[in-house]
Structure 1
Amino acid sequence: MISGGLNGEEQNTKKIKTLCGDLYKSRQILNEETGGSIQTIYCPGMKGSASTLKAVAAGGYQQMVLPADEDLIKASTFADSGEAAAYVQNLTGERIILISLDGKADPVTQEPTVEPATPAIDKQEDLDDGKAKAEETATIDQVTKWILDSLSVQNVDIQPLSSLKAQKASDFIGANLQDNSDQAVLYRSALTNEKRVALCVRGIGTRAQYEKLKKLLKRYKADAAFFVIAATDGNLKKQIRADGYALENAGKTGSASGDVHKMYQEIDGGAQSLQKIGANPGAYLVYEPKYLSQIRAACFAAGQIPVEPQNPKQIAKGAFYLYDAQDISDIEKLLKTAKREGYHVDSVGDLIDSSGTIPALSNADLTKRRNANAGKSAKYTQTVMTTEKALGLTFGNLSNQAVDLDVANRLKSRGAKGTFFATFNELQTDSDTVEKLTAMGNEIGIAYNENTGYSADYDGMARYLHDCLTYTKWRYDMKPKVIMLPEDCAKNKGMLEAVHAYHLKAVGASRSIITSGTENTTDATLPQVLGQLKSVRFTRGGLEYINLGYYVNDQNKQIGDKTIMGNLIDQVIDQHVDAIAFVSPTTNQIEDGSRYRLKTVSSLFASKKVYRLSAKKQTAVTSHKDVLGRMGSSKKQFAYMKNHYVGSNFVVNAKKLPGFNAGEIRQLDKVGRLTDDRVLFLTFDDWGTDQSINKILYVLKKHHVKATFFVLTQHVDENPNLLRSIAMDGHEIACHSNTHVPLSDANADYTQYTSLTKKEQQSMRKDLVTSYNKLNHYVGDVKVGGKKALSQDFRPPTLAVSKAGLYEVFDVGFNYAISGDVSTNDYKRTDLNAYLNAMRNGSPSDEDDFKVKNGSVIVMHMTENAKYTAQMLDEMIPQWQQEGYHFARVDDYVNQFKPRGKRERN
């Protein structure tokens, strides 16, 4: 039999004397009950720091049992015997398996308990917090039997605990210092709702100096802690202690080191020097923040609390102040301020011992902040409005450290960063995870869900943010910049007003990557899950959400294991982020400049490429423009059409030009070139995704080429960032209608065309204006190099036209209707080499019937099915440039256009 401590909560005490007393009492009670002599103890939640091991020894115990976290077993640990067998199969070396009968076998934490001053409504234990849970149908008896059966089947030798050789405390501490994962909590201040501050004094050297300070402290009825080193005069230290002031640890020599073992010797040596004179130091003064990781690890092992006073200019509850002993005037200034403001000045140890209550947000403070905010509300953002080639992966439900860290490591290996959203509860209970995530460069945001217990209005959100922000500043010395809200909160004005008042960005997810009903995914079924995401397309500024705790089969993974969630993230990046990038046709490798970066949400918001849309209305294209109608005569109207319609070499006769008479047809352009200069016009039709359009934009920028994009606007509202990106690259944005309605009607096999009906004309008129209004909304304000991105050029859908159709195009305000002489049919291409051959040498009349020449308007598409277009251009643009061609936007030359009525054969 071994001791389990007095109450199983010994890890929560801060005072070493209390811990020693509790442990001694537990041994005394057990010895009386059993008539034996209990020598070994296990305390849930306690690790073997120097102070803990000393307390165990002081309690009369000779040994302390410290199982690994993964060997703490409770009823919910395994779903079935197979999982238990897999656990046993992975056991190595000598292990202590601890089976908890009361379900308290949780991993060790040194995290202090923190509560709001005005606690939120207690959360019911059965509320689902979004975490995937295996059904806990097994009893602890079943779990125990599964383990015993597996140990027997796998021939694992079971020995009594007493047969294991105990490790010396010093050896254990030394081995533990090899890994800096165990970090003491750093106190920069204390969390308290009382008007108390701590005064820390360092560098006390002489009795005269001390007497001055003592006199000052007595005058103001203040307490203080004196941080001393081993070399500080022993009699002076005894006098300070005799006078009732705390002696705290400034280290053995007052120096710091990047070597964790030397740091431990420094901190433990300082503590021991004070313990020799009867003092009980609990705090260590941080000198060198650059060695903070080593200091915190050494403090954890030495059982000391690292403190780093911040000396805030404005006195605040729980603040720590540090002064050199010679700074009498500064100390007196603090004492005067404290007295005037009604604060009590304490020793740092006393303030830490009482720490754990977040200062309350008073009604007066609540009202003051709301009034200062003047009714402004945060904008609820699911996609950041940016043209930056970047997007955000956002994560929630930090329920499993193994998953969280595996995902973070996958991101790190790719040079990526994510934003991990934590609730107030997770900020407290998952502190080790939070620190590791931030150490890898990730962002921590605040998560809010409806089960928080805070009211869903301004007051509730303000109090929630106050508690979260106060805690993160205290615990992590950081201020989150974003909060993720459920979509239901997007219209809650009070909550959004509170978010704005606290200067945070309110975000939601563009989509959730995790598919509902896939919680039982395994590595074997992961391809099927990925198949369900086949149609997903990521966008610039997108905020893609992943519920980290969703997969049941990840629940028993240990830190360092590969997880299903981690594998999913890898595949999602490969299939949906890297797929956006351009793959060189010569190297078959992604060209780095085309990649989309995975960035934190706040860095997306901070980019210089974030934009706001212009609210300015346009008058260039309107349903009442009546450009042709005002001309009066049909002769003038046709002359305008003739001079502003750039045709093509296959729309040349009455069958394809309904509504025009023979004389008019002879005058219409049947070539489709803009000039005889050695210039080419690259044009792209329709609309696409980041996967298709980003590749085109990259190749154009790579070769310093400007082009014209005839945009089909039906779906641009779903991805305005992409449209804006085209414009910001200096390309021309022109119109291709809203719903791809042709300018003439065709029969089933496209051999005969007829004019539009009056009803169709009116419908087209509305479609054209709608389309241009959308373009204006998103890019109407864009100018690059003094040149507007949005033009009044138009390309007929399918390149089909009629007199009635062209009439509507020009009458609403479009200047030119441009078809073109090189129709590549790139959406039909199945072979890159054949495509390249046609572009180099021309395509015969029985195929696509084109040849690139001076002034050619090359018609391509920005759709995903035009999958070789970007690669073709990457090969052909340099070749064309070597042949003396340069490239221009259509609107650079279209004013020079002269119609050519005679068709030219290629």
Structure 2
Amino acid sequence: MHKYSFFQRGAVIAMAGLCFLTAPASAQPAQPHRFLATTEKTVILTFGGLSRQAPLQNILNYMQAEKLRGTFFVTERELQRNRANLQLIRSFGQDMAIGLVPTKEGGVQDYCAQIQRIRKALQADFGVSSNFVRIMSGGGNQEAMQEAVAKTGCTLISQGLNVVQSKHKDAQSPAEVMPQIFGKWTTSLNRGEIVYLRTDFYTHDNLAADMLREIKKQKLDNIGYAPQDTADSPDNDSAYHTSSLADVAKNKAEHYTYPVNPDDLPIEMQPEYGANQITDKNFMQEFYRRYIGAPEVGAIDRMLGFSRTEMARADTTGLVKTAPPQTVFLTFDDWGNDDSINKILYVLRKHHVHGTFFIITRNMLNNPNLLRAIASEGNEIGSHTNNHVAMTVQDKRGKQIPVESEEEYKADVESSYPKLLAVVGDMRLDSGRPALTRLLRPPTLAVSRMGAKAIFNAGYTYIVNGSGSTEDYGAVSMQSLVGIMNKIVHDEKGNVRRGAILIMHMSATAKRTPEALDILLTANDNLPEGHPGKFKVALLGDYLQDGYDQSKEQHK
């Protein structure tokens, strides 16, 4: 796995605007970047194919009207034949970078020379200094081109989204193209994602600009929080913007190196730490102590491999017993796209509270910037397993049965933590403790003896269900969802349930969650201090530590 830091070897030289041929001869081939490692709320627009002025003019006009920023890759051929178009790009204030073109017999030195020639011309003729390179097509010796990018100290750019596909060349409208570019679950662009659009490809001169317009409307504008039924703060900073590659490179405060090197982390963060401590002999003692249950999970539903006596002793409160009075915990399950998660982040930021995000890691690595952003805003991270496979399900006869074998489930939970570690393992909260916890929430809240043992032996410290699931993925109305949230954090008299854990979801299916949470938190903010229904929000990791024991009826 390669690093998605901004620059490959020679980064300091590159930032100074120079791509030298002095890198070691043994430099490894550069790997293409689908995104830049940043927590900035931005999407990176890049363009190629600058031979036709009409579609290029349409794109530049639209970008100027919408205040969009982007990078246009320039090839040697375009420097020779299309200088007027390049001057047009610069007149609109847009950025440029190096477009590397394969040749039939080109070697490493040939491609190094091509990069240097383009770079020199961009500097001399257009005042642009760039260390970003895109290979403009297939063919040629791709490995030699990648090595040349590394030897010149440059960064190789690919894309997370390629807008242009050959089958759409003669398309007449975005409606023909959009459904085939974006699948059902790709509801938005990703933070720091590189989008690529070839301007001169379509037969229809307006289509490239029209595609950019529709992508912005359908997959970028929807990322910002814009509630339908409540007034929002005038300081709403949830919207994403667009950037050029150079814009993001300059914003160093948002940079990070991905993946984090586990060897550089303290021993307590290593995946194997705390593993292999649970045996059949001590399992139940540890389970009672380290299992925070749920009211709906008990002797009949979602428990497997326990005797009735054992199930009766297991926690069903879902409450953190050492929590101070009027303290509750906000938690979010699954994974999602930027349009669902970014709205939650804004609501938490707006109300100056934080939550625990239990992540399904299977698809998370497609968008590590978003996970990094969650932690950078003071939220903590836990696991929701890698594949979201429940430990047990109910068959047609109403009997609980295992879903996976012991080895399969063991592999699932063991693979989750290292993926989280690779993105946020180096991050710490304001309190000084790691943002990444060893807390795990089991899918569907179901638990089995076999699965729980595997979780503890994988190094997780607590299995955390909660005092109430909102089931927000199936909410029928905003009013009903807010009502459910209120019932979980308040008792029948309207008093705060001390230590309540509110279970919510961050996926696209829970589309009402951000606004419902905003309503709940706004109402809470408006209560006077000392009101029995006014709650405070804390993080689970601050209490589920130092030998916390859920089996004790009372805690000092």
TM-score (norm 2): 0.85
**Is 1:550–2:198 an aligned residue pair?**
no
| Separation in 2, partners of 1:487, 1:685 | 40
Find 2:447's aligned residue among 769, 794, 801.
801
SS where residue 527 of structure 1 aligns?
helix
SS where residue 783 of structure 1 aligns?
coil
Larger radius of gyration: 1
SS where residue 303 of structure 2 aligns?
coil
Find 1:889's aligned residue among 520, 523, 539.
539
- C-alpha deviation, 1:815, in angstroms: 0.7
SS where residue 787 of structure 1 aligns?
coil
Gap change, CA 1:470 and 1:898, over 3 Å in 2: closer
Conservation of the 8 A alpha-carbon contact between 1:839 and 1:851: no
Report the equivalent of 2:276: 626
Range with greater deviation from structure 2 (831-840 or 373-382): 373-382
CA shift digits 1:146-173 (9 cap, x unpaired): xxxxxxxxxxxxxxxxxxxxxxxxxxxx
CA shift digits 1:714-771 (9 cap, x unpaired): 112211111222122221111111111212242148x432467xx7122111111111
Letter in 1 for 2:62: R
Gap change, CA 1:766 and 1:744, over 3 Å in 2: same
| Separation in 2, partners of 1:590, 1:517 | 44
| Separation in 1, partners of 2:275, 2:443 | 22
| Separation in 1, partners of 2:273, 2:139 | 39
Letter in 2 for 1:387: T
**Is 1:425–2:65 an aligned residue pair?**
no
Report the equivalent of 1:752: 399
**Is 1:638–2:271 an aligned residue pair?**
no
Gap change, CA 1:647 and 1:459, over 3 Å in 2: same
Find 2:367's aligned residue among 708, 716, 719.
719
Letter in 2 for 1:660: F
Please show how residues 184-333 of structure 1 align to structure 2 within 5 Å: none
Find 2:174's aligned residue among 512, 522, 526.
526
Gap change, CA 1:432 and 1:588, over 3 Å in 2: farther
Please show how residues 389-408 of structure 1 align to structure 2 within 5 Å: 389-408=41-60
- C-alpha deviation, 1:487, in angstroms: 7.1
Conservation of the 8 A alpha-carbon contact between 1:658 and 1:802: yes
- C-alpha deviation, 1:481, in angstroms: 2.9
Letter in 1 for 2:99: A
Letter in 1 for 2:344: I
Conservation of the 8 A alpha-carbon contact between 1:627 and 1:811: yes
| Separation in 2, partners of 1:487, 1:817 | 49
Conservation of the 8 A alpha-carbon contact between 1:754 and 1:802: no
TM-score (norm 1): 0.53
Gap change, CA 1:839 and 1:623, over 3 Å in 2: closer
| Separation in 2, partners of 1:787, 1:839 | 29
Report the equivalent of 1:839: 485
Report the equivalent of 1:869: 513
CA shift digits 1:537-563 (9 cap, x unpaired): 411111111111122121xxxxxxxx2
SS where residue 713 of structure 1 aligns?
coil
**Is 1:660–2:311 an aligned residue pair?**
no
Conservation of the 8 A alpha-carbon contact between 1:646 and 1:673: yes
CA shift digits 1:442-479 (9 cap, x unpaired): 111121233xx574321211221232223223322332
Find 1:583's aligned residue among 222, 226, 238.
226
Report the equivalent of 1:672: 318
**RMSD across aligned positions (CA):** 3.0
Conservation of the 8 A alpha-carbon contact between 1:755 and 1:803: no
| Separation in 2, partners of 1:584, 1:436 | 39
Find 2:463's aligned residue among 813, 817, 829.
817
- C-alpha deviation, 1:844, in angstroms: 13
Gap change, CA 1:576 and 1:490, over 3 Å in 2: farther
Please show how residues 315-464 of structure 1 align to structure 2 within 5 Å: 370-371=21-22, 373-377=24-28, 378-450=30-102, 453=103, 455-464=105-114
Report the equivalent of 1:540: 191
| Separation in 2, partners of 1:774, 1:626 | 20
Gap change, CA 1:727 and 1:624, over 3 Å in 2: closer
SS where residue 331 of structure 2 aligns?
strand
- C-alpha deviation, 1:413, in angstroms: 2.0
Conservation of the 8 A alpha-carbon contact between 1:683 and 1:860: yes
| Separation in 1, partners of 2:193, 2:393 | 39
| Separation in 2, partners of 1:591, 1:438 | 33
Conservation of the 8 A alpha-carbon contact between 2:23 and 2:152: no
SS where residue 168 of structure 2 aligns?
coil
Report the equivalent of 1:506: 156
Report the equivalent of 1:599: 243
- C-alpha deviation, 1:601, in angstroms: 1.1
Unaligned segments of structure 1, at least 5 residues: 1-365, 555-562
Report the equivalent of 1:241: none
| Separation in 1, partners of 2:479, 2:366 | 34
Letter in 1 for 2:524: W
| Separation in 1, partners of 2:199, 2:234 | 29
Which structure has the higher relative contact order (CA within 8 Å, separation 6+)?
Answer: 2
| Separation in 2, partners of 1:886, 1:773 | 32
Letter in 1 for 2:346: Y
Report the equivalent of 1:266: none
Gap change, CA 1:417 and 1:755, over 3 Å in 2: closer
Gap change, CA 1:852 and 1:885, over 3 Å in 2: closer
| Separation in 2, partners of 1:746, 1:843 | 29
Report the equivalent of 1:565: 208
| Separation in 1, partners of 2:522, 2:143 | 55
Gap change, CA 1:534 and 1:374, over 3 Å in 2: closer
